[in-house]
Amino acid sequence: MSTQNTTHPYVGMWVTADNHIRQELLPEGRYEEARGGRLKAYTGRYWVNGTEIDYRDDTGFSADGRFEGDVLHHGGYLFYREGSEAHQAAAQPQFSA
């Protein structure tokens, strides 16, 4: 696991398409995750190595994820860099024919 968190391009806010889950990757290697109206539902540390991310929350639970441009695959969810074209496209209503 890398400890060089300040050198990666992924610092900032990552959100689900509906904005229900919001995960902020802080530059000092910590994260804060909000779920709905529950601020700081989860907090902990993270490490980035290339496009891979590893998490360890403050209770000791660990997880991982993978970045693909402005999309983060983590815990069965897709997160988008807030405000990115990927986020805007994912937030559009989906119509079926």
Does 13 reside within a domain?
yes
Does 96 reside within a domain?
no
pLDDT value at residue 97: 61
pLDDT value at residue 4: 44
Does 62 reside within a domain?
yes
pLDDT value at residue 94: 72
pLDDT in tens, 49-61: 999 999 999 999 9
What is the domain count for the chain? Answer: 1
pLDDT at 46 over 50: yes
Model's pTM, two decimal places? Answer: 0.88
Host domain of residue 42: 5-91
Q: Is residue 23 within 8 Å of 13, Cβ to Cβ?
A: yes
Does 97 reside within a domain?
no
- Give Cα separations from 46 to 70, 79, 96 (angstroms): 18, 16, 38
pLDDT in tens, 74-93: 999 999 999 999 999 999 87
Alpha-carbon distance 74 to 65, whole Å? 4
| CATH number (domain holding residue 86) | 2.40.128.290
